[in-house]
Amino acid sequence: MGDFKHRLGLVALAGALVLSGCASEAAGEPAADSTATTTAPTQAPGPEPVAYEAPITEGSVATPETEQSGVAGSFFWGLVTNPYGLSGQWTADGNDPAHIAQLWENYFSDGLKEKLRAAEPGADLTGIANWALLAVAPLESSDAIKASPSCTPDMESCWLLESRDGRVTTVNNPKFDPADVAGPNQYLGTYTLTLPVSLSEQDNAEGYMSAELKLNLTFVPNPSPGDGRPPYLIDSVNNQLLNAQTDLLSNRPELVFSDKR
Please indicate, yes or no, if residue 35 is contained in any of the structural domains: no
- Taking residue 98's Cβ as centre, other Cβ atoms within 10 Å add up to 19
| Count of domains for the chain | 1
- pTM, full prediction: 0.82
Half-sphere exposure for 129 (CA within 13 Å, toward CB): 36
Q: Which of 35, 74, 34 is nearest to 54 (CA)?
A: 74
Please indicate, yes or no, if residue 173 is contained in any of the structural domains: yes
Spatial distance between the Cα atoms of 2 and 19, rounded to a whole number of angstroms? 16
Give the pLDDT confidence score for residue 9 in this predicted structure.
Answer: 25
Q: What pLDDT digit, counting tens, does each position of 219-240 carry?
A: 999 999 889 999 999 999 999 9
Q: What pLDDT digit, counting tens, does each position of 135-158 carry?
A: 999 999 999 999 999 999 999 999
* Mean per-residue pLDDT of the chain: 82
Q: Across residues 79-102, what is the average pLDDT?
A: 95
DSSP state of 187: E
Q: Is the pLDDT of residue 256 over 70?
A: yes
Spatial distance between the Cα atoms of 242 and 244, rounded to a whole number of angstroms? 6
Q: What pLDDT digit, counting tens, does each position of 185-199 carry?
A: 999 999 989 999 999
Q: Which of 205, 203, 180 is nearest to 191 (CA)?
A: 180
Please indicate, yes or no, if residue 213 is contained in any of the structural domains: yes
Give the pLDDT confidence score for residue 165 in this predicted structure.
Answer: 75
Q: Is the pLDDT of residue 27 over 60?
A: no
Beta-bridge partner residues of 162: 169, 255
Please indicate, yes or no, if residue 37 is contained in any of the structural domains: no
Please indicate, yes or no, if residue 185 is contained in any of the structural domains: yes
Spatial distance between the Cα atoms of 215 and 192, rounded to a whole number of angstroms? 11
Half-sphere exposure for 102 (CA within 13 Å, toward CB): 17
Q: Across residues 211-217, what is the average pLDDT?
A: 94
User: Which of 6-20, 49-63, 208-222 shows the lowest per-residue confidence on average (mean pLDDT)?
Assistant: 6-20
Task: Classify strands 145-146 and 240-248 as parallel, antiparallel or unpaired.
Answer: unpaired
Spatial distance between the Cα atoms of 163 and 159, rounded to a whole number of angstroms? 13
- For the chain, what is the radius of gyration of the CA atoms? 19
Contact 234, 108 (CB under 8 A): yes
Please indicate, yes or no, if residue 229 is contained in any of the structural domains: yes
Q: What pLDDT digit, counting tens, does each position of 160-190 carry?
A: 888 877 777 777 666 666 667 788 999 999 9
- Amino acid of residue 189: G
For residue 56, the SS3 value is coil
Please indicate, yes or no, if residue 40 is contained in any of the structural domains: no
Structural domain of 118: 2-19+47-257
Beta-bridge partner residues of 186: 218
Q: Across residues 243-254, what is the average pLDDT?
A: 94
Q: How confident is the model at residue 14 (pLDDT cuts 50, 70, 90)?
A: very low
Say which residue, 40 or 211, is predicted with more confidence. Answer: 211
CB-count exposure of residue 105 (10 Å: 0-12, 13-18, 19+)? middle
Please indicate, yes or no, if residue 38 is contained in any of the structural domains: no
